[in-house]
Every structure is written in C-alpha cells, then in structure tokens.
Amino acid sequence: MPITRTETARKFLAKEIEKLSDEEGAIVRRFINRASTARNVAREFEEQLTLGQRVADRVAETMGSWTFIIIQSTILLAWILLNVAAYMNHWDPYPFILLNLGLSFQAAYAAPIIMMSQNRQADKDRMQTKNDYEVDLKAEMEIMQLHEKFNELRDSYWTDLVRMQQQQIEMLERLIAESCKH
C-alpha cells in the first residue's frame, strides 16, 4: 500500500517536533490537537498580583502622572512662597532644609516602589512576548497545513486533468479508427 502525502507530512512533522525544545514541542502538540494557544496574558498577569503589588503599581502610576507633577509643583511653590514671605514665622527658612528632608523621604520610598512596578511590567512584557511567540508558531503551523492541503488539492486536480486528457485521447483514437473504417 503506497504512503499518502498526509502520512508523509505526519512523519515529517514528528521528526521536526523531536528537534524542538520541550516547550516548543508542547505548543506544536497543542496545535495538532487543536487546543487554543491565544490567551489574555494581561488578565492572567493581573489575577496573580498580590495586594502589595497592586498598591505599588497604583503608586507608580500616580507618581508618573501630570496630575501628580502639577500638584507637587504647586505644593512646593506654595511652601517656598509662604516661607519667604512670612516675616516672623519662618517654619522652614531658606535653604528649606525641612522641604529637602520631605522630598528626600518621598524619593527614598518612591524609587523602590516604582522599580518594583517596572520589574513587574518587564515580567508582564516577557509573558506577552512568550505568548506572541506561541501564537506565531501556531500560525506558522496552520500555514504549513494549508500549504499541504493546497498541494493535495493541486495533485488531485492534476490527476483528474490527466485522466480526462487520457479519456479524450482514447475518444479521439476511437473516432479516428471509426473514420478510417468508413
């Protein structure tokens, strides 16, 4: 019994899967079994965040906004103007040591919180990149499968065309033979 193109493709695919890493092989096997590869990575990532991580992300989001910058600038300007304009009650005279202490305190806490948020964003980006790779690999497998189906259809059409041409040749030969008899 002759080997079909589908069997040849499956053998080829099995050999190719052996060359892949375990992770890539799992993706290809999911494709073969028609399991879904695409998923909402952002939602998955958000679901696993702890309360502290959510708070850190919210603080980093707030501190990186124009609203925060404008409010903080307004507070700093008011602080400086009130201390310069106050004739008798300077609670933080120039060079504004108390203000510098407050800003240093804010920076000391804000920097690590922002770094934690940035690290989490990098993890989320890596997760998204991995998912994109899996989706791309599945799309590539789908395209390979479509090529194989097109090749099978083309071969089938060629077989039909050759058979029809053979029938036409036989009909012409019969017509010629009959016309030679008459």
In the chain, the N- to C-terminal Cα span, in Å, equals: 46
Task: Please state whether 96 falls in left (phi above 0), alpha (psi between -120 and 50) or beta.
Answer: left
Mean pLDDT of the chain: 86
Q: Is 23 among the domain residues?
A: no
pLDDT tens by residue, 149-166: 899 889 889 999 999 999
Domain contains 142: yes
- Structural contact between residues 53 and 120, judged by C-beta atoms closer than 8 angstroms: yes
In a domain, 20, yes or no: no
Cα within 13 Å of Cα(55), Cβ side:
5
Listed range (75-79, 90-94, 147-151, 169-173) with the worst mean pLDDT: 90-94
Asked whether residue 162 is assigned to any structural domain, the reply reads yes
Longest dimension (CA), the chain: 135
Q: Kindly state whether residue 8 falls inside one of the protein's structural domains.
A: no
User: Does 31 map to a domain?
Assistant: no
Its pTM stands at 0.58
Domain tally for the chain? 1
Residue-number span of the structural domain to which 85 is assigned: 36-181
Residue 76 lies inside a defined structural domain of this protein: yes
pLDDT in tens, 59-84: 999 999 999 999 999 999 999 998 88
